[in-house]
Amino acid sequence: MSFTQAETQLALINMTETFIRFVVGGLFVSAFAVLGDVLKPKSFAGLFGAAPSVALATLTLSIHSRGHDFAADEARSMIFGAIAFFVYACAVCRLIMRYKLPASIVASAAIVIWLAVAFTLETVIGR
Amino acid sequence: MMIRIDLSGLRRTKWHDYAIRFLFGGLITAAAGLVAQRWGPSIGGLFLAFPAIFPASATLVEKHEKQRKNRAGLQGPMRGREAAALEAAGAALGCIGLAGFAFVIWQLVGVYETWIVLGGAGLLWLGISGLCWRILKLS
């Protein structure tokens, strides 16, 4: 097998893995979202806004394709992501109530808060 | 307040809302995999707790509540925002469970069977989040 063929095969495997991740992730997220839709009261259903749907899909595939150590490293960093999500959700709640802003704008714009907190924690504590 | 299942929520959600959630969920999962492949598991792992569908869910909650209150002749926009803020407060509680979920997997993956660790971590997420919600309700 020539080098080019090997490269092509690797690219194909990567594309297939990405596609599988897309489908599995979409299904997990949709399933948790449906649960959030049917549960009452709203404050309890809100818990499902931070369901581990992406994590379950990703970690299952990571353990399968890259092993336990890789998945453990991902899970460790996920703790920082969860802290950042907490700060983000509190900020969204506060901004909507205090400034009477539309949720669609606040929830999208506040993603920068998540990015800032997550990467700061990873840089300061994670390394 | 009792937790209950209300299937009317499914009827209010349009097929394109489901499609958007599937698309966002799929995209962030695929992106998390690509980031981990390119920059390693430490950076990729951050995105396992990315608020992927939260903006879409909060917008949907706001829209549904606004429509419902408008039909009843009440202040739709205001009630819609309050419902979205409540959704955000619930998500904040869910994040405490999410950190517990990640901690369990970090410590126990490879020690026990994968399905036990993932299933146990999922139940722990629900337990911690539910407990936090209950404590907040009682206080």
Which of A35, A85, A101, A125 is the best residue to mutate to test the B interface, defined by the most B CB atoms within 10 Å of its own CB?
A: A85
Q: Residue A36's pLDDT is what?
A: 82
Amino acid at B64: H
3-state secondary structure of A100: coil
Q: Please report which confidence band the pLDDT of residue B75 belongs to, taking 50, 70 and 90 as the band edges.
A: low
> What DSSP letter does each residue of A12-75 carry, written as one string?
HHHHHHHHHHHHHHHHHHHHHHHHHHHEESHHHHGGGGG-SHHHHHHHHHHHHHH-HHHHHHHH
As given in the structure block, the two tokens for residue A40 are: 């009452």
Contact residues for A41 (Cβ-Cβ < 8 A; gap 6+): B1, B3
10 Å Cβ neighbour count for A17? Answer: 17
Q: Residue B82's pLDDT is what?
A: 85
Euclidean distance between CA atoms B97 and A83, whole angstroms? 10
Euclidean distance between CA atoms A115 and A92, whole angstroms? 14
Q: What is the pTM of this model?
A: 0.88
Q: Residue A3's pLDDT is what?
A: 65
Q: Residue B21's pLDDT is what?
A: 85
Q: Please report which confidence band the pLDDT of residue B78 belongs to, taking 50, 70 and 90 as the band edges.
A: confident
Angle (CA) A89 A94 A96, round 5°: 95
Euclidean distance between CA atoms B136 and B12, whole angstroms? 28
- Asked if the C-beta of A126 comes within 8 angstroms of chain B's C-beta atoms, the answer is yes
Cis peptide bond prior to B51, omega within 30° of 0: no
Which of B109, B112, B134, B135 is the best residue to mutate to test the A interface, defined by the most A CB atoms within 10 Å of its own CB?
A: B109
Residues of A in contact with B58 (CB under 8 A): 49, 92, 103-104, 107
- Is residue B133 within 8 A of residue A44, CB to CB? The reply is yes
Examine the pLDDT at B8 and tell me if it is beyond 90.
no
Q: Rounded to a whole number, what is the distance in angstroms from the first to the last CA of chain A? A: 40
What pLDDT, in 10s, does the model give residues B19-62?
888 998 899 999 988 999 899 999 999 999 999 888 888 888 88
What pLDDT, in 10s, does the model give residues A69-115?
999 999 999 999 999 999 999 999 999 888 888 888 999 999 999 99
Euclidean distance between CA atoms A59 and A124, whole angstroms? 24
3-state secondary structure of B4: strand
Say which residue, B26 or A11, is predicted with more confidence: B26
